[in-house]
Amino acid sequence: MQNRENGGLAYDSTGEGRAVLLLHAFPLSRTMWDPQVEALAATHRALRFDAAGFGDSPPRDGPLTVDRIADDAVRLLDHLGIETTVVCGLSMGGYAALAFARRHPRRLEGLVLADTRAVPDTEEERRRRYALIEQVRERGPSAVLIAMMSKMVGTTTHRERAPLVARIRERILAASPEAIERALQGLAERPDAVPELAEIRVPTRVFCGTEDGITPMSEAEALVRAIPDARLIPIPRAGHLANLENPDRFNAELLRFLRELDASGPAGT
């Protein structure tokens, strides 16, 4: 579905109940949340959209910053007449979820930060991102596969789940080089979110694949220490894409969190 109020970004909304907005990782699209949308649909309203340039969304000028993703999320909520939501973001989606918490705290009911971190890129990481932009210009999205695929999923997935690895590779190769470039710029320049973690006032769960080699458990633990009402949820037998690598556990923990939120009051309170 295209949402013109949202700059034409593609989105879908599935089910009824408390809204749960799902923000996708780099360089994937909203389809990465298929297993979660299926699990949520009976009890919740799952919302997801493709960040500009990814999936079915048209590109936009300038870097795809995490602030822009957060503001696009709020435009989608406005378009749908939704006042408040739980936000669940994985990796780049988690950076955007933190930007959402900082820029739109009154729209937030609960937060799930999955396989992500609050610290900005180091100089070295920033240099690597700009080098990757050059490689993507020369070779296309396969440069991202070479740079990231070994760490994109955990060792268990590499060993035991060849079809899932193949699907993720296909999705990375299908990403637009222009979108990849704009997102890499946005990722390289994302702000330090650490100083605002103490200001997060909503219940928060920090999910992390125990085999995550991109945003490892130490980053998740740092988030839990800094956010006042946060709990760590390790996802076993999963790496960086924990929602795809161990969807049963991820979904069970997500639904448990949502039930806890329901027990503490209806949506919008």
If the CB atoms of residues 203 and 216 are measured against ligand MLT, the closer one turns out to be: 216
If the CB atoms of residues 23 and 108 are measured against ligand MLT, the closer one turns out to be: 23
If the CB atoms of residues 76 and 214 are measured against ligand MLT, the closer one turns out to be: 214
- C-alpha to C-alpha distance for 219 and 98, rounded to whole angstroms: 14
Tell me the number of residues near ligand MLT by CB under 6 A: 7
DSSP conformational letter for 18: S
Q: How far is the CB of 25 from ligand MLT (least distance, A)?
A: 4
* Per CB under 6 A, 26 contacts ligand MLT: yes
- C-alpha to C-alpha distance for 263 and 268, rounded to whole angstroms: 13
Q: Which helix (H) or strand (E) holds 2?
A: strand 2-3
* Per CB under 6 A, 168 contacts ligand MLT: no
Residues 225-244 within binding reach of ligand MLT (CB under 6 A):
240
Q: Across 67-200, where does the E strand assignment appear?
A: 85-90, 108-114
* Per CB under 6 A, 92 contacts ligand MLT: yes
Q: How far is the CB of 4 from ligand MLT (least distance, A)?
A: 27
In the structure encoding, which two tokens stand for residue 49, read together?
Answer: 């959209």
> How distant, in Å, are the alpha carbons of 6, 154, 239 from that of 216?
33, 11, 9
Q: How far is the CB of 179 from ligand MLT (least distance, A)?
A: 13
Residues 32-91 within binding reach of ligand MLT (CB under 6 A):
91
> At a CB cut-off of 8 Å and minimum separation 6, what does 77 contact?
19, 21, 47, 83, 85, 107
* Per CB under 6 A, 157 contacts ligand MLT: no
Burial degree of 138 (CB within 10 A; 0-12, 13-18, 19+): exposed
* Per CB under 6 A, 207 contacts ligand MLT: no
* Per CB under 6 A, 187 contacts ligand MLT: yes
**From candidates 69, 214, 235, 258, binder to ligand MLT by CB under 6 A:** 214
Q: Which residues bind ligand MLT (CB under 6 A)?
A: 25-26, 91-92, 187, 214, 240
